[in-house]
Amino acid sequence: MRPRFVLQEILTGLRRNVTMTVAVVVTVMISLTLLGASMLTTRIADRMHQRYFNQLEVAVYLRADVTPDQRDTLASTLGADQRVEKVVYVSKEQAYEKFKTEFTDQPDLVKSISGPNVLPESFQLKLKDPKQYENVASKYGQAPGVDQVYDPQRALQPLFDLLDGVKTVSRIVALVAGAAALLTTFNTIRLAAFSRRREIGIMRLVGAGNFTIQLPFVLEGVFAGLLGAGSAVGLLALFKGWVLDNTLKSFFSTGVVPNAQWSEVWAVAPWLAGLGILLAAAASYLTSMVYVRV
Amino acid sequence: MIRLDHVSKTYKSQTRPALNDVSVNLEAGEFVFLIGSSGSGKSTFLRLLLREERPSSGTVHVAGKDLNRLPQWKVPAFRRQIGCVFQDFRLLANKTVAENIAFALEVTGTSRHKTQAVVPEVCQLVGLKGKENRLPDELSGGEQQRVAIARAFVNKPILLIADEPTGNLDPQTSIGIMKLLDRINRTGTTVVMATHDAAIVDTMRRRVVELDRGRLVRDQARGVYGYAH
């Protein structure tokens, strides 16, 4: 098969079937956009997890006017506490360094902290059983020199629930839209096969192979899938640039939930493109096999 | 070239066989008329030769191949040895004469170089020189059939199957088509032609195979269309 001839056949096919091709592109775009959104959300949630949970689970923040005696007493009682697996002391300087590395993606936030003195020193605890948090908090919350006991997991749980919800919903809608995209592809190829039945009939008679007969259909599918995936990536980029970076700017600048990175958008793009092309090509191939029997 | 041994074919939805115990042997290089009224089994006969259908019983040999045993993936290669012409021409309306003929080569993977060399040659042979860039709509019925014959012949088939090729043409034009088919036959291509056209059969005086309700009722070396009609 000559490439020019194949290309011509594809263009003819696409032109004849413009409305259905558009339908395929749009459904593929919707489903891949949502899939991409769920992938981005997963990455954000992972980053949040790392930020908050790879550090020790419970922080006992000390008052600014804590005395060295109080600090030593706390250190020894915490160290002797059966429920506490590990105690790490974090000085003001260490807290500041950590803060700077964790929030490198938000220079504004880092700048807002003038220096090590702003952040409190703390004991970071790892509990043997995280459920013991309540008891630990009530015991040390009132101890001399302690400002407050803070469990990031507890505080952030609603946000994680929200991200989980976003992930689940976008996955379900992506799945439904994906099913719609597949059905639309089936229908498109069926129509394409119908509108090309004369060509197909002649191809069969003159002895064209299955591959030759099906290739234009598969390539039409690939083309539509690629276009859909491209639009999906474009839509995600638009969402990132417009909604996340502009409309929701103030929300992310609090630093609680990390914003999606451009590198993450580009990392998701090839997956979407691959999936779009693969699914569209497979659907086209299978459908054309049914309707283009030699 | 073609051998049918006790071939019967019954279609799924029907009880009466379309072909009933037909045995016939057609030699290479022959020109054979296949006659019979509508529903006599001519089309089924031709479809079996193309392996568009398989017999319910019996064996079909074409070009040395037992079509019952020919695997599906070898069917395209098999069909490249056979040219086909139909009553309704089956041309692609959006392609020119040259493109219609080249189509048969392009979809079977012939190089562009060869296609460009062969198409004008075949146009010349079928008498369409100078009309290569016309669309089928701009041609007469006879000319359209010539395009179809050119497309069937461009792969240099060893067998040409023609299903009522003159069915849509006036007698004068039909004679031209028959002369063309005769010329193709003289190049060594076996021609099997199903027809209702008594005048043509009577003029050509070639081998006549007659089917009647699925049975082979006559096989005559230099036959006429017939007495019973």
Where are chain A's structural domains? 3-51+156-291, 58-150
**Does some domain include residue B225?**
no
Q: Which domain holds residue B104?
A: 92-156
For B8-63, what is each residue's pLDDT tens digit? 999 998 889 999 999 999 999 999 999 999 889 999 999 999 999 999 999 999 99
Residues from chain B contacting residue A195 (CB–CB below 8 Å): none
pLDDT of res. B166? 94
Q: How many Å apart are CA A81 and CA A60, to the nearest integer?
A: 14
Per the CB < 8 A criterion, the answer to whether A219 and A10 are in contact is: yes
Burial of B137 (0-12, 13-18, 19+ CB in 10 A): exposed
pLDDT at A6 over 50: yes
* Distant-in-sequence, close-in-space partners of A214: CB < 8 Å, separation ≥ 6: A285, A288, A289, A292
Q: What is the mean pLDDT of residues A54-68?
A: 76
pLDDT of res. B229? 46
How many residues are given for chain B?
229
**Does some domain include residue B77?**
no
Q: Is B158 helix (H, G, I), strand (E, B) or coil?
A: coil
Closest Cα in chain A, distance from residue B226 (Å)? 32
For B160-213, what is each residue's pLDDT tens digit? 999 999 999 999 999 999 999 999 999 999 999 999 889 999 999 999 999 999
A6 interfacial to chain B (CB closer than 8 Å): no
Q: How many Å apart are CA B212 and CA B205, to the nearest integer?
A: 20
Q: What is the mean pLDDT of residues B132-149?
A: 95
What residues does A148 pair with on adjacent strands?
A: A61
pLDDT of res. B227? 61
- The pLDDT-based confidence of A53 (bands split at 50, 70, 90) is low
Q: Tally the domains of chain B.
A: 1
Q: How many CA atoms lie within 13 A of B56 on its CB side?
A: 15
A208 interfacial to chain B (CB closer than 8 Å): yes
CB atoms within 10 A of CB B70: 16
For A274-290, what is each residue's pLDDT tens digit? 999 998 889 889 888 88
Q: Name the token pair of B27.
A: 């030699």
**Does some domain include residue B143?**
yes
Continuous segment of H or E residues that includes residue B202: helix B198-204
SS (H, E, C) chain A: CCHHHHHHHHHHHHHHCHHHHHHHHHHHHHHHHHHHHHHHHHHHHHHHHHHHHCCCCEEEEECCCCCHHHHHHHHHHHHHCCCEEEEEEECHHHHHHHHHHHCCCCHHHHHHCCCCCCCCCEEEEEECCHHHHHHHHHHHHCCCCEEEEECHHHHHHHHHHHHHHHHHHHHHHHHHHHHHHHHHHHHHHHHHHHHCHHHHHHHHHHCCCHHHHHHHHHHHHHHHHHHHHHHHHHHHHHHHHHHHHHHCHHHHHCCCCCCCCHHHHHHHHHHHHHHHHHHHHHHHHHHHHHHCCC
pLDDT at A293 over 50: yes
A7 interfacial to chain B (CB closer than 8 Å): no
Per the CB < 8 A criterion, the answer to whether B225 and B193 are in contact is: no
Task: Give the pairing type, strands A84-90 and A122-127.
Answer: antiparallel
Long-range contacts from B169-174, C-beta under 8 angstroms, 24+ separation: B169/B141, B169/B142, B169/B145, B170/B141, B171/B199, B173/B140, B173/B141, B173/B142, B173/B145, B174/B142, B174/B200
Task: Give the pairing type, strands B65-66 and B19-26.
Answer: unpaired
pLDDT at A56 over 60: no
pLDDT > 70 in chain B, percent: 99
Q: How many Å apart are CA B66 and CA B2, to the nearest integer?
A: 10
Most confident of A92-101, A112-121, A177-186: A177-186
Residues from chain A contacting residue B150 (CB–CB below 8 Å): none
Average pLDDT, chain B: 93
Per the CB < 8 A criterion, the answer to whether A230 and A269 are in contact is: no
What does DSSP assign to residue B160?
E
For A101-112, what is each residue's pLDDT tens digit? 877 777 777 777
B193 phi and psi, to 5 degrees? -130, 120
- The more confident residue out of B170 and A92 is B170
Residues from chain A contacting residue B152 (CB–CB below 8 Å): 206
Of A12, A202, A208, the CB nearest to B76: A208
pLDDT at B87 over 50: yes
Q: What is the mean pLDDT of residues A266-274?
A: 92
Q: Do A12 and B94 touch (CB under 8 A)?
A: yes
pLDDT of res. A132? 74
Q: What is the mean pLDDT of residues A127-145?
A: 78
Q: How many Å apart are CA A123 and CA A114, to the nearest integer?
A: 22
* Distant-in-sequence, close-in-space partners of A155: CB < 8 Å, separation ≥ 6: none
Tell me which residue of A52, A179, A186, A62 sits closest to A120, measured CA to CA.
A62
**Does some domain include residue B146?**
yes
pLDDT at A17 over 50: yes
Sheet holding B57-62, edge to edge: B19-26, B2-9, B57-62, B65-66
pLDDT of res. A158? 83
- The pLDDT-based confidence of A272 (bands split at 50, 70, 90) is very high
- A and B: number of Cβ contacts within 8 A: 58
Q: Where are the alpha helices (DSSP H) in B42-156?
A: 42-49, 75-79, 97-106, 112-126, 141-153
Of A2, A202, A209, the CB nearest to B90: A202
**Does some domain include residue B211?**
no
Mutate to test the interface with A, among B106, B112, B122, B158 (most CBs of A within 10 A): B106
Average pLDDT, chain A: 83
**Does some domain include residue B6?**
no
Please give the distance of CA B142 from its chain centroid, rounded to a whole number: 16
pLDDT of res. A55? 54
Candidate from A87-96, A274-283, B214-223 with smallest mean pLDDT: A87-96
What are the DSSP calls for B117-140, one per residue? HHHHHHHHHHT-TT-TT--GGGS-
B184 interfacial to chain A (CB closer than 8 Å): no
A58-150 is a CATH 3.60.20.30 domain: no
pLDDT at A231 over 90: yes
A195 interfacial to chain B (CB closer than 8 Å): no
